[in-house]
Each structure stands twice: as C-alpha cells, then as structure tokens.
Amino acid sequence: MCNTYFGVNAQYEHPLNEFKSVQNTRIVLDFYDTDPRRGFYGGGGIDGRFGKYPITFALGGLPPGSPAWGEGFARDLAEQYSRTMFFGAHGTSLPLETNSVALDPSLKDAWGLPCMRVTYTDHPDDLKCGEFLTSQALQIAQASGALKTWPEPIRPQTMAVHLLRTCRMGNDPRTSVVDRYHRTHDVRNLFICDGSSMVTSGRGQPTETSRRSRSERAN
C-alpha cells in the first residue's frame, strides 16, 4: 500500500514564503473518518504546505499554459515561487491482493542480483477519496483569497514515498510474516515496528502511526 496524495496549487497576490521554516501543517481533519454517504471507503487530511522546492517547482509548479522555457519562464518562476502554496490531500490506500513486491525473474542489477519488482494499482475507492479531498482543498484555497487555483489531476499513482504492507499479519506462519503483536514467526525476538504489517494506510505518516498503535496495545 501507499498513501494517496493529490492536491491543489494556489497563487496569491503577496509573497507567502512558504518555502521557509516548517512546512508540515495539517489544517483540516474534518474528513479523516469514513462516511458511507460519500459512496466510498476512506478519508484523510488536508495539509497547508508548500511542498515544492526550486527544482520541483520549476518542473511543475506553474499553472497550466505558463511558459516552459526562455525569458517568460524565468520571469514567472521568480515572481510566483514565493507566492505559491500547495494544499495537499493525503488519503487512504486500501490493500489489494494483486499488489506485491517481488524479485524480478529476469532483470538483474550491476552485480548480477535480481532487481525488485513492484506491482501496484490503486483501489477504485482510493481515487474517489482523492477526488473528494481535492474538491475540499480547492474550496479552502479559493476561500483563502488565492488569485488562481488549479488542482492536480486524479489518476493512478506511479510513485510513492509512504510504502506499507508486505509483512502480512496472521496466526499461520505459512501465510503470514508477523503475529498479532508484530513479532515475526521465524525470529521470536524480532518485532517489525513500522508500516509493513498495517492493514490500511492510516491516512498519515505510517511508521509513527504503527508505533503508537503497538504502544497502546501493550498498555
């Protein structure tokens, strides 16, 4: 599993300097829980954060239709970098049996070892959740006085930084890696205390969430 992460870009009249100091600012948790009336499982939080440093901003931080080269491109980057922020919609990712991490049967690295093969497809509800959270983020951006707003497209993810699962939890060592206490079946004193055995993505930073849940169970 991963965490879905879409969002809305917004440009303002005056500089915000969002690239300075702390960026991680979760501002809305109203939609964190599942609401069956939405028609899909899951929820998430909306972050008020810049999220794009100079190079990534140059590669995709300007509005659609902006110059992509030359004097106009350089001018827009200089004018808009400090006036732009990103409202990130961080949502649920559901487990699918077809998603997996395995060794590639034919592709080798420079040392002749099998390369890692990652097979991943978003659950349909994940994309519906992303659409919903992005629509809410768009309303927030517009209400905050942004001169221009444009959402990122909602489409199947091809990259991620919050990787979860792969160490299935269960009672049977033949079909799972850890038991209900996150202890591995094969090595009795080894506990896997990150997002590897979580059954859903938790709508947040996975390792810290896993540690809290394990501590609460122990208490």
Distance CA 94, CA 127 (A): 11
Distance CA 6, CA 49 (A): 13
Distance CA 178, CA 207 (A): 16
Tokens of residue 196, six digits: 């590897």
Report the first-to-last Cα separation within the chain, whole angstroms.
28
Q: Is 185 one of the annotated active-site residues of the chain?
A: no
Residue of 123, 162, 182, 185 marked active site: 162
Contact by Cβ (8 Å): 46, 133: yes
DSSP 89-146: EEE-----TT-EEEEEEEEE-TTSPEEEEEE----HHHHHHHHHHHHHHHHHHHHTT-
Element (H, E) at 56: helix 54-60
Tokens of residue 91, six digits: 């949502």
Catalytic amino acids? 162
